[in-house]
Amino acid sequence: MTHFRHLRRAFWLCLLAALPRAMADPVQSVPTLEVDRYLGTWYEIGHLPMFFQRLCVSDTTAQYSKNADGSIAVLNSCRHEDRQLDIARGTATVLPNSGNARLKVQFFWPFSGDYWVIGLASDYHWALVGSPNNKYLWLLSRSPTLAQTDVDTALQIARRQGFDLDKFIYTPHGER
């Protein structure tokens, strides 16, 4: 009987742990993205930790431009602890029927990742990018700083869509 009680307690604990995600909205991209307005330089305001950015400590940016074939050239850069600049080049392609707001980004063949614009200021001065599995999240801005009200608005969008922001990392820009 004691064993059954422990199993039942474990079941309820697992169920309770899953509730925040179960109660969250599924990840949704914005209805439409005007790609030409999105092109240019973006500064990372913050992100959820991920393997490929493990050495980045500051000055993280993304630059998007159009390739001749209609795909999007991606140039990501950041600084390591020793101030060394790290650069990654990739290509993004828009997924059909996504209003241009869902892309696949590839930095090395054959691997690609989901890049969904899930929040966007009407004037394109900030963007929130995530993955449909809630693992990846970036808050981007056209300038190295972003008003706290905009940060709060963007992160609320992320929370509603089930992103766990307990490990969200803010990105410093400029000399340290």
Q: What is the pLDDT of residue 26?
A: 87
* CB neighbour list of residue 139: distance below 8 Å, 6 or more residues apart: 44, 45, 46, 47, 126, 127, 128, 146, 151, 154, 155
The answer to the question of residue 155 being in a domain is: yes
Q: What is the pLDDT of residue 35?
A: 97
Q: What is the pLDDT of residue 20?
A: 43
pLDDT digits (tens, 9 = 90+) for 117-172: 999 999 999 999 999 999 999 999 999 999 999 999 999 999 999 999 999 999 99
The answer to the question of residue 55 being in a domain is: yes
pLDDT digits (tens, 9 = 90+) for 74-90: 999 999 999 999 999 99
The answer to the question of residue 47 being in a domain is: yes
The answer to the question of residue 2 being in a domain is: no
Q: Which of 32, 56, 38 has its CA nearest to residue 46? A: 56
SS3 track for 13-82: HHHHHHHHHHHCCCCCCCCCCCHHHHCEEEEEEEECCCHHHCCCCEEEEEEEEECCCCCEEEEEEEECCC
Only one residue has tokens 């079941």, namely 11
The answer to the question of residue 45 being in a domain is: yes
Q: Are 45 and 140 in contact (CB under 8 A)?
A: yes
| Number of domains composing the chain | 1
Q: Which domain holds residue 63?
A: 26-170
Confidence of residue 110 (pLDDT cuts 50, 70, 90): confident
Confidence of residue 174 (pLDDT cuts 50, 70, 90): confident
The answer to the question of residue 20 being in a domain is: no
pLDDT digits (tens, 9 = 90+) for 14-61: 333 333 444 456 899 999 999 999 999 999 999 999 888 999 999 999
Query: What's the CATH code of the domain at 74?
Result: 2.40.128.20
The answer to the question of residue 175 being in a domain is: no
The answer to the question of residue 127 being in a domain is: yes
